Structure 1
Amino acid sequence: MKRDKNKEIGDRLRSIRERCGLTRKEVELQTNGEIKSASLSTFENNQSQISLRYLKVLLDFYRLKGVRSSYDWVISGDGMQPIEHEGLASNITAVKESAYFLQNNQNSKIITATTNRFSPYIKTGDFIGIIKRDSFTHELKLYTLMREDTPEFIFGKKDKETSLIYYIDRSDIVTQENDLPHQIYEVIWVRKQS
Structure 2
Amino acid sequence: MAEMLTWRVSESDGLETAWLDLGGGTLRARGRAAGLLPQPYWLSYELETGADFVTRRLRVTAETAAGVRELDLRRAPDGGWTAGAEPLEGLDGALDCDLGLCPVTNTMPVLRHGLHQGGSERTFLMAWVRVPDLTVLPSVQTYTHLAPRHVRYASGGYRADLVLDEDGLVVEYPGMAARVERRPLPASSARLR
**If the TM-score is normalised by the length of the shorter chain, which range does it land in?**
under 0.3
Structure 1 or 2: more helix by fraction: 1
Greater strand proportion: 2
TM-score for the superposition, normalised by structure 2:
0.26
State the TM-score, normalized to the length of structure 1: 0.26
Higher radius of gyration, 1 or 2? 1
